[in-house]
A and B are shown apart, each in its own frame.
Chain A
């Protein structure tokens, strides 16, 4: 039977627009290289070897997971942008491929010195093969599923890959230099956006890996300085909706939503459900993707029964009135038992049909 992407799309659009007419709570997993490789049986490099392979593997994975949304996995800011910078600056030697993981570069190798930052070339994404493949694959996915694709960006995730540990010292010792690097990353991501729009044919939703907004890493003030101000600029220059991801343990959700207008947030911490109940009351126009279903806890170590109960807890507390989609807080990792992942859509069928009945 053909997968009903049209109905899925309707659920997705309803939940993000704050609509209430849905048959059930949507499910939005985040499937990246490792889980796609596992389900489809090809390596990460094979996955991005052609747009067709990339698009089909992505669609088949999301169908296997019973997802209500199909998005190209690897237009992912950290690894692919880091790769683009490494290539544009003749540092292919720092790029590493592994069979079942996203591509990586040696952290801090591209911007080791101040001079490296001063001379850092901004990538032309029309010449970076992995991004070309991504643009074409995004278009194919859209053509097959009609799902609007999200481009995944983020300033700090890239800064940290390029500058490594020195980025944190720069905050105190050389903030102007660090801002210069942030500006270059921002310019690069605007280039991604422009290329996306041109090659895919429509503007994407923007999915931001806002890693700076984590209280273990930096103050909120610095998070705004090195990531937040650029999010505001994205919004001002492009005017597209933004969905924020942060899988840290001390995210600045409330502070962030008070500063920037967001379409939605995706994360798990804090793990207490009461936090999310209060968050929903305080920010009724922000869609919650999550909230506390954790890939490194219930999904990795639990059983399908435990996962179902966690999903039920989330639905019971957060799904009333819409603006809520079930979503594990981060990319599904290699070692998560597949029955645990599939327990999520199963629980949605049991407990997530509107009108909701608390059991």
Chain B
């Protein structure tokens, strides 16, 4: 029975079926399944399958977005169980799109994928000035700070944000994300890691935290 529920949850994540994900999560709750098992075998397994198909170009942005939504919906149902369980609690990630950039698609997918993996995510939204990142970092002491941007012109603002964080002695790891980035740019703006897309970003956050 529990295997069936977990498979249904996993399939709903792969299919990006929000309604089915909610139902499966409810069933998992009702069956009193272990939260770690639900996350690992239902949600994370499903997300990994989607990531793998994305890498193979069988899935595209549409599937990533729908999977992220299904994961968020399932996580909302599982929230009471997550709050009770220490084993499932993971690090805190602070994310936002840097000032001057209004794009939120990539950031929102990353947010949902991270939440689906059990991370506590604080989302500052779009067009976030450096001082807002600093203020929130001081308040919530995140393990990782993720800066997102779509536009090439936003790279300088990413750099400015990182300098502001370092000046205030914020020691959180910093990851920058966007198709415009490269290892060279990451090094130049003094980020700890970079990612070109959402799924890769989640893997890199895991690596930064030593979870992978």
Contacts and interface: CB of A to CB of B under 8 A. Distances in A.
A168 B185 contact: no
Contacts of A297: 182, 184-185
Interface string B95-136: 000001011110010000000000000000001000000000
A254 to B, nearest CB: 14
Nearest to B153: A333
A218 B185 contact: no
Interface stretch (B34-42, B54-62, B72-80, B165-173): B54-62
Contacts of B105: 107, 160, 164-165, 168
Interface string A96-130: 10101100111100000000000000000000000
Interface string A192-224: 000000000000000000000001111100100
Contact of A168 (B61, B153, B181, B197): B61
Given A164-B104, A164-B105, A297-B184, A333 B60 contact: no
A290 interface: no
A334 B62 contact: no
A58 interface: no
B196 interface: yes
B206 interface: no
A295 interface: yes
A169 B15 CA distance: 12
Contacts of B180: 296
B185 A104 contact: no
B108 A301 contact: no
B99 to A, nearest CB: 9
Interface in B44-67: 57, 60-62, 65-66
B13 interface: no
A74 interface: no
A330 B153 CA distance: 11
A106 B101 CA distance: 10
A253 to B, nearest CB: 15
Contacts of A295: 152
Chain A interface extent, by class? 35 or more
B139 interface: no
Contacts of A96: 102, 127
B65 A165 contact: yes
B191 interface: no
B179 A249 contact: yes
A297 B197 CA distance: 17
A105 B181 CA distance: 23
Given A98-B100, A164-B105, A215-B57, A301 B159 contact: no
A249 B185 contact: no
A155 B182 CA distance: 28
A34 interface: yes
24 contacts: A96-B127, A98-B100, A104-B102, A105-B102, A107-B102, A165-B104, A165-B105, A169-B62, A169-B65, A172-B66, A215-B60, A216-B60, A217-B61, A218-B60, A249-B196, A294-B182, A296-B155, A301-B182, A301-B185, A302-B184, A330-B152, A331-B153, A333-B153, A333-B156
Interface of A: 34, 96, 98, 100-101, 104-107, 160, 164-165, 168-169, 171-172, 215-219, 222, 248-250, 294-297, 300-302, 330-331, 333-335
Interface of B: 16, 57, 60-62, 65-66, 69, 100, 102-105, 108, 127, 151-153, 155-156, 159, 179-182, 184-185, 187-188, 196-197
Given A98-B100, A169-B69, A222-B60, 8 more contacts: A96-B127, A160-B105, A171-B62, A217-B60, A301-B182, A301-B184, A335-B153, A335-B155
